[in-house]
């Protein structure tokens, strides 16, 4: 080692070899996508950013990654320019950064101490379902299609075509002025009280597959076909499971958070001066 130092040349050479080797190791399988001043964007950087996004945004970015890299470049350049101009040392900016830091730290604490500790078991969900079955009752539901026109004569003419054997869905596509025309007039499922009364009353009188006469509402003249009906019942455990799990998680989250707050209040000294409120916020 003394011999190497005394040369004054060998040490830098060895360090260069070491650093070159490290650089090659870091760059292996991590291709540089873009460079912008002091910022280097690699495949690893891009993948890491995408992985943190919600699934919906991941799909958007993956369809056009070049556009997102452009956004990363703009972000890097704007940040660098701001730092070079001393904006990061601005009082207002430092206050905002400190506020953001507090929120981030708090969110991470809550995640560690509350969210990550929430466990909802199958047994708990089944017990909740058995004890709250009344909450999972489903009302009677009807499904209908309709043809809506603005003129009564046209409505009567369409009804006549249906009586002669014309297909209801085809007539809805060609005659109906409602947005459901593209779906062959399908309104979808509805329960009592969701649609206008005259329309609902006409549906309730029909059997599945039966078509009404002309029904007038404030929207115009309808010809209605009842396409399906569901009797009132109770959701199965599997149908209700996702809702139950979400409700139990919210309940446990509240319990764990309240326990965390109480723990912190007992751990750290907390004092509240009630008299100071009147001075800080005078009563109106």
| Residue-wise pLDDT tens digits, 93-140 | 999 999 999 999 999 999 999 999 999 999 999 999 999 999 999 999
For the beta carbon of residue 51, count every other beta carbon within 10 angstroms. Answer: 8
pLDDT value, residue 28:
55
pLDDT value, residue 12:
38
Whether 245 and 238 have beta carbons less than 8 Å apart is answered as: no
Regions of the chain short of the pLDDT cut 70: 1-29, 281-284
What is this structure's pTM?
Answer: 0.59
For the beta carbon of residue 265, count every other beta carbon within 10 angstroms. Answer: 10
pLDDT value, residue 5:
37
What is the per-residue burial (b if ≥16 Cβ within 10 Å, else e) of 224-252?
Answer: bbbbebeeeeebebeebbeebeebbeeeb
Strands 211-217 and 186-191: unpaired
pLDDT value, residue 86:
95
pLDDT value, residue 29:
56
Whether 32 and 42 have beta carbons less than 8 Å apart is answered as: yes
* Dist CA 54 CA 93 (whole Å): 28
DSSP state of 213: E
């Amino acid at each position: 080692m003394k011999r190497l130092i005394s040369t004054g040349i060998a040490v830098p050479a060895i360090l260069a070899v070491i650093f070159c080797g490290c650089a090659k190791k870091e760059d292996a399988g991590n291709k540089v996508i873009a460079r912008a001043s002091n910022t280097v964007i690699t495949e690893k950087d891009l993948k890491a950013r995408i992985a943190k996004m919600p699934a919906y945004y991941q799909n958007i970015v993956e369809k056009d990654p070049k556009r997102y890299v452009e956004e990363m470049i703009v972000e890097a350049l704007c940040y660098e320019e701001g730092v070079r101009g001393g904006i990061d040392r601005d009082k207002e900016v430092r206050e905002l950064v400190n506020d953001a830091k507090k929120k981030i730290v708090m969110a991470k604490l809550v995640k560690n101490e509350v969210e990550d500790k929430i466990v909802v078991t199958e047994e708990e969900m089944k017990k909740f379902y058995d004890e709250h079955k009344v909450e999972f009752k489903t009302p009677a539901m009807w499904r209908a299609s309709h043809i809506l026109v603005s003129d009564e004569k046209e409505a009567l003419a369409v009804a006549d075509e249906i009586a002669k054997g014309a297909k209801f869905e085809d007539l809805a596509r060609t005659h109906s002025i409602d947005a459901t025309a593209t779906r062959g007039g399908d309104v979808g499922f509805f329960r009592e009280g969701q649609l206008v009364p005259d329309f609902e009353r006409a549906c309730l009188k029909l059997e599945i597959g039966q078509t009404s006469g002309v029904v007038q509402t404030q929207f115009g003249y309808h010809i209605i076909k009842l396409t399906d009906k569901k009797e009132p019942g109770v959701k199965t455990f599997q149908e209700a499971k996702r809702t139950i799990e979400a409700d139990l998680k919210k309940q446990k989250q509240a319990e764990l958070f309240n326990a965390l707050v109480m723990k912190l209040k007992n751990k750290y000294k907390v004092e509240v001066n009630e008299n100071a409120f009147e001075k800080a916020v005078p009563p109106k």
